[in-house]
Amino acid sequence: MSGGPLAGVRVLEIGGGIPAAFATRWMAGFGAEVVRSEGPPEALTEDEGIYLLAGKRRISVVEPTTLRRLALAADIVVEDRKPGTLAAWGMAPEDLRAEKPALVIVSITPFGQRGPYAGWEATNLTAFAAGGIHSLTGHPSRPPLQTGGSQALYLGGLHGFAAAITAYFGALVHGEGDWIDLAIQEIQAGMLELYGPRSEYEGGPSPRTGNHVRAVWGLYPCADGYAGVCALERQVPALFALVGDPALEEERFRDFTQRAEHDDELQAILYGWFADKTRAELLELGRKHKVPIGAVLTPLELLASEGLAERGFFDTVETNEGSARVPGRPFLGLPWVPGRWEAPGESTAAVLREWLGEEGVG
C-alpha cells in the first residue's frame, strides 16, 4: 500500500476513452487501486494509452453480471459510455446506489444523461464545438479553430476526477455517495470567462479575437518563435517602461479608455519590439521587470526544461518503444506514485479473486 491519500480506495473504470481514463489516472497516482475494464480498442490511441493507463490494473471482463459485482465492490465507479449503457447491462447507476449507499458513480458524456442531445454521437471536435470556447478561438476572418490535443475530452476527465473525489469525501463524512451526471458541454459553458456573462447581460455574441484580445493581451512572433504578453492595467506601466518607445509616454496609450482606440498602433509597436528578441530573452525580461510575458514552448522543449526537472514533474513509463516521459503528479504536497503500464487483461484473474473472491478466469 502506498502512502497516498487514496490508499485502499477501490476504483472501477468502465472504459472508455479519455474522459474516464484521465479521471482515474490521478486517482491511481494518488494511491487508489484502479481497475480498468477495457472498452472498445479504438477508444484510445496507443500514445493515449501509454499516458492514461499507467498505474491501472487492466481486466478483460466479462459478463455484465460480473461487472456489476465489481462495481458494488468498488468505492468509486467512473464511466464514459453512452447514456443508458449501464442500465442496459443491468447495472443502472440508481440501482447500484440503492444497493450500496456509500458508492460514488461518475458518468462523463459529451451532452449528459438526459436532454435532447443525450443520444448524440460525438468526438472531441463536436463536443468542443457545442461548449462555446470553440466559437471564441481562431482568427476572426477564418473558421473557429479547435484548441490542440483533445481538450473537450480531457476537461471531462479533469472534472470527473475532482467531482468524484469531492463526492467520495462527502461519502466518508456523511455516509452517502451520489451519482454525478457530468456533461462536457456544461463544463465548457460554465467557463466562458467574461464572454459568456457579457453576451447574456449585454446581448450579442463575443467575436473571435485571434491572437490579440488587445495589444497588451496577445501573442507575437519573435526571433525564434512566438511569445505572449498579458498585461493587466496595473502592469501596463511596467510593460511600457520595458518597451521604452517614447511614443508610449503619450496620453492616448497611457489612458485605459483612449488606448482601445489606438490598439492597432500599439500592436505595431509591440510587433517591432518582440521581433528581434528570443523567447529566452523575453522570459528573462518579464521576470526581471514583473511583466507577464510567456513563450510558446513545445512538448519537446518542455521535456528539457530545468524548471520542470527540478520540480520532478515527469514520470517515466516503460513501453515496447522505450521509456516514455509523461506529465506526472498534477501538484506537489501529497504522495504520488508513478504507475507501471500493464497489458490489457493482465490482472483479470487477480482482480476477480481479490475483489470477488473468485477462483479461475472470468
Partner 1 sequence: MKRLPLEGIRVADLTMVWAGPFATKILAEMGAEVIKVESPQAWDLVRTLIPMPGVEEFWNCSYYFNDYNRDKKSVTLHLADPRGRELFLRLVERSDVVIENYRADVLDKLGLGYEVLRERKRDIILVSMAGFGKTGPEREYVGYGPIIEQMAGLASLTGYGDDGVPYKTGISYGDPVAGAAAAGAVALALIRRQRTGEGAFIDLAQREVMATLIGEAFVRASLRREVPPHRGNRDERYAPQGVYRCFGEDRWVAISVRSDEEWRRLAQAIGRPDLASLTLPERKARHDELDRAIEAWTEQIRPQVAAQVLQAVGVPAAPVIDTEAIHDDPNLVAREFWVALPHPRMKPWRQPRSPWRLAEAKPTPRRHAPLFGEHNTEILSGLLGLSQEEIAELEAAGIVGRAPVNARPGG
Q: Are 132 and 126 in contact (CB under 8 A)?
A: no
Q: What are phi and psi of 109, to 5 degrees?
A: -140, 160
User: Is residue 56 a contact residue for partner 1 (CB under 8 A)?
Assistant: no
CB atoms within 10 A of CB 326: 18
Q: Going residue by residue from 231 to 260, which x/- string records binding to partner 1, judged by CB under 8 A?
A: -xxxx--------------------xx---
The grid cell for 271 is 510587433
Contacts of partner 1 in 283-312 (CB under 8 A): 283, 286-287, 290-303, 306-308, 310-311
Specify the pairing of strand 225-230 against strand 293-295: antiparallel
How close are the terminal C-alpha atoms of the chain, in Å? Answer: 26
Residues paired with residue 295 on neighbouring β-strands, in sequence order: 227
Q: Can you tell me the distance from the alpha carbon of 111 to that of 24, in angstroms, rounded to the nearest whole number?
A: 20
Q: Going residue by residue from 214 to 233, which x/- string records binding to partner 1, judged by CB under 8 A?
A: ---xxx------xxx-x-xx
Closest separation between CB of residue 104 and partner 1, Å? 9
Q: Among residues 13, 33, 38, 181, which is the contact residue for partner 1, using CB under 8 A?
A: 181
User: Is residue 211 a contact residue for partner 1 (CB under 8 A)?
Assistant: yes
The grid cell for 348 is 483479470
Closest separation between CB of residue 71 and partner 1, Å? 16
Burial of 268 from C-beta contacts in 10 A (0-12 / 13-18 / 19+): exposed
User: Is residue 115 a contact residue for partner 1 (CB under 8 A)?
Assistant: yes
The angle formed by the CA atoms of residues 80, 76 and 17, to the nearest 5 degrees, is 20
User: Is residue 198 a contact residue for partner 1 (CB under 8 A)?
Assistant: yes
Region near partner 1 per CB under 8 A, out of 91-99, 245-253, 269-277, 351-359:
91-99
User: Is residue 120 a contact residue for partner 1 (CB under 8 A)?
Assistant: yes
CA dihedral 142, 148, 153, 157 (to 10 degrees): -140
The grid cell for 176 is 452517502
Region near partner 1 per CB under 8 A, out of 63-71, 81-89, 127-135, 343-351:
127-135
Closest separation between CB of residue 352 and partner 1, Å? 27
- Of 62 and 231, CB closest to partner 1: 231
Region near partner 1 per CB under 8 A, out of 49-57, 77-85, 267-275, 344-352:
49-57
User: Is residue 77 a contact residue for partner 1 (CB under 8 A)?
Assistant: no
